Amino acid sequence: MDVVFWVLALAAVMFGFGVFRLNSMAQVTFSLLASFLAVAGLVVLLGLGYLGVVIVLMMVIEMVIMAVFMIMYMMNPAGLMPMAMYHNKPGAMTISVGTFVLLAAGILLVDWPQRTGTPAPDPTFALGRSLMGEQMLTTMTLGITLFATIVATVVLSTGRGRYDRLGGDLDADTSDDPLGGGVGR
Amino acid sequence: MTLELFLLAAAGLFAIGLYGALSQQSIVMLMMGLELMLNGVILAAAAFWHFLASAGSQGQVLIVVVVTAMAVEMAAGFAVATAIYRARQVDMTDGAADLKG
């Protein structure tokens, strides 16, 4: 168990560091994915098998989508030349090292309490009961948030909406399209 | 395997993500930094659940919330990047400094 922990923890941190060290956008994306997979392994190691698998499934899809966007927008997707896209690097390094030292000091100095209670025999079952029962408000809030995200992302990323095609009052006689639609009749 | 070791790994991920979010110019790389920070939060939440409060399932619910937040962050971030790229061909944070005070 200890060996598995060290391998996964070091992999998570090293691949995480690789995200800002590697030269190619594609490599960067898959380095981030590897870091997520290592963390998912650690979550499984902690006894949360279901959530670990959920993280794996979500992150694989998320990073593949991210890779597409990377290659769409970013320079140097193939890593043929060194890439340096930083601003205020020393300041950022100081802040992040300071944050780590502060967090590590807290982690090592706090007198952590003992474990209370015993885990449910099936943590996944307990999570399901909790999400559909006492945490229903959380679940519903998450649902509304996701729906609002769907609407907002579509609105933000649509190039031409119905108001561009049919005018502000949606009362134009013919739609103003760059290309005619239909089958030419 | 102790709580402290898990939390140190989580703090490392969080600090690396913070470095990326602060230092990267590219909007997508900045979002990767944010994701890495949330990655650390997931690890810390799982460790807290396992080592301190495994009787309840609130820790697991927190992980579900964070995973959802990651999905929302990435979707909203890419929508904003698409919108600003469409309007001004900007893909770097330095090109979108209109609100800098």
A2 shares a domain with A69? yes
Q: Who's near A150: CB < 8 A, 6+ residues apart? A: B75
Q: Output the average pLDDT for chain B.
A: 88
Residue A151, domain member (yes or no):
yes
* A150 → chain B, closest CA residue: B75
A128 shares a domain with A74? no
Phi, psi of B40 (to 5 degrees): -65, -40
Q: What is the mean pLDDT of residues B57-77?
A: 91
Please tell me the predicted confidence (pLDDT) of residue A158.
Answer: 85
Residue A107, domain member (yes or no):
no
A-to-B residue pairs, Cβ atoms closer than 8 angstroms: 230
Q: Last residue of some domain: A24, A53, A78?
A: A78
Residue ranges of chain A with pLDDT lower than 50?
none
Q: What is the mean pLDDT of residues B51-55?
A: 82
Q: How many domains does chain A have?
A: 2
A59 shares a domain with A3? yes
The three-state secondary structure class of A114 is coil
A74 shares a domain with A1? yes
Residue A108, domain member (yes or no):
no
For chain B, the residue count is 101
Whether A87 sits inside 8 A of B75 (CB atoms) is no
Residue A71, domain member (yes or no):
yes
The CA–CA distances, whole Å, from A145 to B6, B34, B57, B61 equal 30, 19, 22, 16
Q: What angle do CA B97, B100, B101 make, to 5 degrees?
A: 165
Cα-Cα-Cα-Cα dihedral sign, residues B20, B21, B24, B30: positive
A1 shares a domain with A69? yes
Domain that holds residue A32: 1-78
Name which of B34, B36, B52, B84 to mutate to probe chain A: the one with the most chain A Cβ atoms within 10 A of its Cβ: B36
Residue A157, domain member (yes or no):
yes
Q: What is the DSSP letter of B92?
A: B
Residue A100, domain member (yes or no):
no
B73–chain A nearest CA distance, Å:
9
CATH number, domain B3-91? 1.10.287.3510
Q: Who's near B47: CB < 8 A, 6+ residues apart? A: A46, B3, B6, B7, B10
Whether B42 sits inside 8 A of A43 (CB atoms) is yes
Phi, psi of B26 (to 5 degrees): -75, 135
